[in-house]
Amino acid sequence: MARFGGLRRRLLALARPRGPESLPVRFDRRRIYVLPTRFGLFFAALLAAMSVGGLNYNNNPALLMAFLLAGAAMSSLVSAQLQLSGLSVVAVDAEPVHAGRTLHLRVHTRTTDRRVRSGLKVDFDDGDTVPLALRDGTGEVVLDVATHHRGWLDIPRLRVQTTWPLGLARAWSYVWPETPVLVYPRPEALAPPLPIGSGDPAARRLHAAGDDVHHLRNYRAGDSRRAIAWKPSARRGTLLVREFEQPIGTDIDLDWRELHGLPHEVRVARLARWVEDAERDGRRYRLWLPGQPPLGPERGPAHRHACLRALALMPHG
């Protein structure tokens, strides 16, 4: 197989589509390929042997059986093509992840006609196959994509295939979504703690004392575990969270410029780590990147995504 790798790659490069395309994509006969599987070739050889033998001896039962099987095989080829024909890939999407994590790419498919489709599978050219079941004309599969680098990830060519109904032929079609998916930078593994918040010195000292409790409030989803006041919680029988007085000055400034001296990618990684840390601690933070207005101060998922996105899109140094 390896010897034919080059040839195979060249042939695959000829297959439609030859470049990324915008979704939705509907499979029609111009982009559905049907070729016998290895078992299909074996089966064809078997039928050829039977037919030649039958013709030679003018053995009509043998010929009849060989031709019936050939007819069935032929109709299975047509049938395999029809499993795909009329199927559309309407969208792909994924939650962004940090580089190095697995991206879960969702592929949404739909059919317009009422034909029953069976045995569909989706994969990348050499990845794990995932079965695709259609219910009421729509179906969704999740494919795992390994990520290595931050920035836009071009989704490789997807393949939707089936060997249904007899396993003699594989019908497949490629779809190459143009939709790029963003991969966030890999956070630095052993990063120094968050920088001290900026603002007026008094406020800074106040924050340094660390436990100037303003009041307690009820726990809300997303609150940091560190902020939970365990003793009052135990007394009241409900989870309470310490809310610190947070003067403007205690916002954290995550500044690209302050990290001079570090290599470019380490700076990106460290800022990514700090964004995650600040978010975990429930602190407000502002991200300064070169050539851009500062982001924030703010906190919450939207801000986190905005910051990580900006970091992911930093030009590669």
Partner 1 sequence: MADPRARPLDDDSRRWTLLVAGVCLLPLLLQLPGPTALAIAATAVVIVALSWRKPLSVGVRMLLAITIVIAVAAQFGFNFGRDTGCAMLGAMLALKPSETTTIRDGRSLVGFALFAPFSTFLLDQGPWTLALGLTGALLGLGALQRLATLEGEMPSPGLWSPMQQALTVLAFGIPLALAIFWLFPRIGTPLWGVPDRATAKIGLSDRMSPGDWAQLLSDDTVAARAHFLGVTPPKSAMYWRGPVLSDFDGRTWRRGDNIGLGARDHVQPSRIVWTYTLEVEPTDRTQMVALDVPLAAPAGTTLSLDYSLRAARPLAALTRWRMSSSPPQVMQSQLPEPQRRRALALPRGYDPRTVALGRQLRTRLHDDRAIVQYALDWIRRDFSYSLDAPPLGRDTVDEFLFKTRIGYCEHFAGSFTLLMRAAGIPTRVVTGYVGGRWNRLGGYWMILRSDAHAWAEVWLPGRGWVRVDPTAAVAPERIYDTVGEQLGEGGVLDTLQGPNGLAQVGDWLRQNWNDMVLGFDADRQERLFAPLGLKRMTAMQLVLAFGITASLALGLMVWLTMRTPREQDPVLRAWHRLGARYTRIGLGRAPHEPATAWAERIGKAGSPTARELQELTARFTDSRYAAGVADEASARRLARDLRAHRPS
Question: Could you list the residues that contact partner 1 (CB under 8 A)?
Answer: 39, 42-43, 46, 49-50, 52-76, 78-79, 82, 113-116, 118-121, 126-129, 131, 133, 162-168
Minimum separation from the CB atom of position 69 to partner 1 (A): 6
Residue 71 or 300 having the CB closest to partner 1: 71
Residue 65 or 313 having the CB closest to partner 1: 65
Helices (H), 1-119: 5-14, 38-56, 60-84
Minimum separation from the CB atom of position 2 to partner 1 (A): 14
Using CA atoms in the order 215, 221, 224, 228, what is the torsion angle rounded to 10 degrees?
Answer: 40
Residue 139, Cβ neighbours under 10 Å: how many? 19
Residue 71 or 263 having the CB closest to partner 1: 71
Closest CA to 138 of 209, 87, 192, 84: 87
Distance CA 57, CA 52 (A): 9
Residue 118 or 292 having the CB closest to partner 1: 118
Distance CA 128, CA 157 (A): 14
Minimum separation from the CB atom of position 57 to partner 1 (A): 6
Residue 167 or 247 having the CB closest to partner 1: 167
Single-letter code of the amino acid located at 38: R
Minimum separation from the CB atom of position 147 to partner 1 (A): 18
Q: What is the DSSP string of 2-14?
A: GGGHHHHHHHHHH
Minimum separation from the CB atom of position 3 to partner 1 (A): 19
